[in-house]
């Protein structure tokens, strides 16, 4: 497994598994398969409503806690300082993992500076090891760090060969903030997975188009967290450490960049929806 050293010296596996839209009942089998194959990093969130199942799967794996990297995320209605203090403890209680390796602000709306202060205190208290952001644009990232004691180690954003995030990566470089790709497979977009280039490169390397895309992420320096509940996919997505794309091949994938995300939401909608969208995590967590 490739490990990436973050700006606080913590190490994160470059390939993990995501559990967005995975029902709690399906988390156990998927994660048992993933741990068996060799994955050691899981990406969940308060809003995914499956933290309890993720924690149970980690305990059931029999692996040592220190060998697994757990990421979770706070949701905007919990972004005031005092609310975030409570939300962090609730996340910890649901996961039951003692500490969270990486805690992210899930969205760039609401009182994210207040929440960040609570997250910094959680680091000082040993509840959280590393902090990061998700879905922050450059302006709000700049606003956050202007009042922060701890710099985000990770910026989790949509990223795949159709949306390569080159400008954001340049912006993040001075902070040594690493890009973590959500929708690393474009949410299984048919057009992306059927790109003739990936089929051609896959044939050459004896790999599938998906494996070529995931290998591209690794060689681009991205952390990738593809989601799957299909054991065959979970296994094959991990089988990407025994080949390398040439610089010419990487350059040809660079040309696929459309610099356009699949997921788009006007900023004003985000400002209204995210801080208001109240999920009763305690009642709905399964």
**Annotated catalytic residue, options 39, 48, 112, 183:** 48
Please state the closest distance from residue 139 (CB atom) to ligand NAP, in A. Answer: 18
With contact defined as beta carbons under 8 Å apart, do 16 and 4 qualify? no
Nearest-CA neighbor of 83 among 108, 103, 112? 112
Nearer to ligand NAP, 184 or 247 (CB): 184
C-alpha to C-alpha distance for 154 and 56, rounded to whole angstroms? 25
Using the rule CB under 6 A, give the single segment among 82-90, 145-153, 166-174, 226-234 that binds ligand NAP. 226-234
User: Which residues lie across from 132 on neighbouring strands?
Assistant: 104, 154
- Residue with CB nearest ligand NAP? 18
Please state the closest distance from residue 209 (CB atom) to ligand NAP, in A. Answer: 8
- 131: phi then psi, degrees, rounded to nearest 5: -115, 150
Site string for ligand NAP, 70-109 (x = CB under 6 A): ------------------------------------x---
Please state the closest distance from residue 175 (CB atom) to ligand NAP, in A. Answer: 18
Active site annotation includes 162: no
Site string for ligand NAP, 5-34 (x = CB under 6 A): -------------xxx--------------
Please state the closest distance from residue 171 (CB atom) to ligand NAP, in A. Answer: 18
Nearer to ligand NAP, 129 or 227 (CB): 227
For residue 193, with 0-12 CB atoms within 10 Å meaning exposed, 13-18 middle and 19 or more buried, which class applies?
A: middle
Nearer to ligand NAP, 36 or 82 (CB): 36
Q: Which residues are catalytic?
A: 48
């Amino acid at each position: 497994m490739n490990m990436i050293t973050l700006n606080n010296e913590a190490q994160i596996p470059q390939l993990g598994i995501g559990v967005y839209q995975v029902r709690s009942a399906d988390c156990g089998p998927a994660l048992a398969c993933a741990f068996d194959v060799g994955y050691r990093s899981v990406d969940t969130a308060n809003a995914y409503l499956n933290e309890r199942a993720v924690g149970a799967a980690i305990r059931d794996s029999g692996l040592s806690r220190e060998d697994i990297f757990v990421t979770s995320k706070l949701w905007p209605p919990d972004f005031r300082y005092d609310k975030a203090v409570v939300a962090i403890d609730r996340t910890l209680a649901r996961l039951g993992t003692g500490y969270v390796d990486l805690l992210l602000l899930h969205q760039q709306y609401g009182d994210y500076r207040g929440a960040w202060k609570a997250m910094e205190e959680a680091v000082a208290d040993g509840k959280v090891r590393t902090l990061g952001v998700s879905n922050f644009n450059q302006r709000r990232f700049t606003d956050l760090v202007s009042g922060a004691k701890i710099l985000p180690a990770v910026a989790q954003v949509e990223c795949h060969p159709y949306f390569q995030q080159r400008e954001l990566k340049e912006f993040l470089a001075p902070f040594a903030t690493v890009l973590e790709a959500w929708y690393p497979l474009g949410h299984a977009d048919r057009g992306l997975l059927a790109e003739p280039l990936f089929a051609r490169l896959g044939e050459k390397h004896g790999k599938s188009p998906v494996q070529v895309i995931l290998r591209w992420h690794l060689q681009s320096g991205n952390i990738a967290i593809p989601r799957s509940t299909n054991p065959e996919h979970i296994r094959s997505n991990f089988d990407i450490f025994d080949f390398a794309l040439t610089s010419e091949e990487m350059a040809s994938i660079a040309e696929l960049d459309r610099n356009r995300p699949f997921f788009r939401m006007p900023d004003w909608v985000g400002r209204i929806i995210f801080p208001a969208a109240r999920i009763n995590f305690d009642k709905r967590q399964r």
